[in-house]
Amino acid sequence: MIYADAAATTRLAQGVLEAMLPYMENSFFNPEGVYQGAVYVRRAVNNAHSILGEALGCQGREIFFTSGGTEADNWALKQFITEKPAHIITSQIEHKAILNTCKTLQQMGWEVTYLPVDRLGLVNPEDLCSAMQSNTRLVSIMLANNEVGTIEPIQKLAAVAHAGGALFHTDAVQAVGHIPVDVSVLGVDFLSLSAHKFGGPKGMGALYAKDGNISAYVDGGGQEMGRRSGTENVAGIIGMATAIKLAMSQMADTTSKICAFRDHIMDCVLHLGGVSVTGPEHGPLRLPGLASFTIESVDSETLVMDLSAKGICVSAGSACSSGTGKPSYVLKALGYSEQEAWSSLRVSLDASLTSEEVSELIQAITSSVKAIRNQRQGRA
């Protein structure tokens, strides 16, 4: 099997499972306990806060553990729901965790503006400036898109939001562990991340809140500084902290390796003809490990299934929108036609991929595309 769907999820990085296991075996204690074993576990959880804080350039007390990226996004957006409904700004290419939360807020009387993006998937800070209203409470724009890999100009967007008196959240689920993310450099107030996108366990994530300033999301026994109660997922927390530490220490090497693979894959697939890269071409505006295309005369589901039969795991778009029977709303927002949006392919790489696997992957894509096109021509 060749796994090239790392934007959907990653396998546990080496050493992560080993770091987690003791917290499900001998060190199973509830961190709220007062006896020695529990105090040890409490220290490990506190230390995990510090590790995450260090990775994001903030304090450990500004990190709140969640059940993943979706919960962190929900929390960031729903934190004001006890207030009088106001205005939120987001973009048309956000993950469903944001878009569907916005829908819920709209049902509750909130006004939501969905900013457009250009052909590369970039949000224009001037568009944000024009959309700001006196009652704009929050702006939420993703740091990196999960389908086309576009990295948004968050620093500029956050500055515009602040100048207009709003707070700024970014969904950094696809970015954390893959590119440098420093909350103070970005100037964001809230940031979501998810462990399973960078070699950590599924069902584990975090929300950064500047100065710990956020209302409680889950009431109960007062865990997570009173903001998200419930006995901590200790093994998950340790797994996420171990994975982020690893990802940060290996980032430079991983980036140069997978950027080279990504660019090689993009060049070879482009060579097939009738292919366009979706999102930015090579370079700093694109996530290191994500290559995405539309391929003329090729139905993406057919291609993905054909590659799957060859033992190759890729996707048509995001893990969440494929299988819905609808073409990608992200590609449509980028200005692609419905037909083009049905011909998308996303290849996303992690550090474990070898150059032999990359060659095999390219060969398989090439032969599948040719076979599908031939078949289609035969039918015409």
Q: Looking at the annotation, which residues are catalytic?
A: 320
Name every residue whose Cβ is closer than 8 Å to that of residue 380 and which is 6 or more positions away in sequence: none
- Closest distance to ligand PLP from the beta carbon of 319 (Å): 6
Interface stretch with ligand PLP, choices 65-73, 177-185, 223-231, 256-264 (CB under 6 A): 65-73
Question: Which part of the chain contacts ligand PLP (CB under 6 A), choosing from 85-93, 166-174, 275-283, 324-332?
Answer: 166-174
Alpha helices in 57-122 (DSSP H): 69-78, 96-107
Between 8 and 161, CB nearer to ligand PLP = 8
Question: Would you report the helix, strand and coil content of the chain in percent, each value rounded to 5?
Answer: 45, 15, 40
Query: Is-contact 87 135, C-beta < 8 A?
Result: yes
What are the residues facing 160 on neighbouring strands?
Answer: none
Residue 228 interacts with ligand PLP (CB under 6 A)? no
Residue 73 or 232 with smaller CB distance to ligand PLP: 73
Smallest separation (angstroms) from ligand PLP to the CB of 90: 12
The whole-angstrom separation of Cα 224 and Cα 237 is 12
Q: Is residue 174 near ligand PLP by the rule CB under 6 A?
A: yes
Q: By CB under 6 A, tell whether 340 contacts ligand PLP.
A: no
Question: Among residues 45, 63, 173, 237, which is the contact residue for ligand PLP, using CB under 6 A?
Answer: 173
**Which of the residues 71 through 110 are near ligand PLP (CB under 6 A)?**
73, 95, 97
Minimum CB–partner distance for residue 205 and ligand PLP (Å) = 5
Nearest CA to 266 out of 148, 131, 114 is that of 148
Query: Is residue 279 part of the contact set for ligand PLP (CB under 6 A)?
Result: no
Q: How far apart are the first and last CA of the chain?
A: 34
3-state secondary structure (DSSP) of residue 86 = coil
**Residue whose CB is less far from ligand PLP, 51 or 72:** 72
**Can residue 17 be called a binding residue for ligand PLP (CB under 6 A)?**
no
Q: Are strands 344-348 and 290-295 parallel, antiparallel or unpaired?
A: antiparallel
DSSP 194-252: EGGGTTS-TT-EEEEEGGG----SB-SS-TTTTTB-S---HHHHHHHHHHHHHHHHHHH
Q: Which of 149, 205, 236, 280 binds ligand PLP (CB under 6 A)?
A: 205
Question: Sheet containing 205-209: which strands, arranged edge to edge?
Answer: 63-66, 205-209, 190-194, 167-171, 136-140, 87-91, 111-115
- Backbone φ and ψ for 259, nearest 5 degrees, come out as -65, -40
How big is the CA angle at 154 (ends 151 and 156), to the nearest 5 degrees? 125
Give the binding-site size for ligand PLP (rule: CB under 6 A).
Answer: 15
Q: Measured from the CB atom, is 69 or 279 closer to ligand PLP?
A: 69
* Residue 174 or 233 with smaller CB distance to ligand PLP: 174
Q: Which of 5, 152, 171, 350 binds ligand PLP (CB under 6 A)?
A: 171
Please identify, using beta-carbon distances, which residue of 201 and 368 lies nearer to ligand PLP: 201
In the complex, which residues of this chain contact ligand PLP (CB under 6 A)? Answer: 68-70, 73, 95, 97, 142, 146, 171, 173-174, 194, 205, 319-320
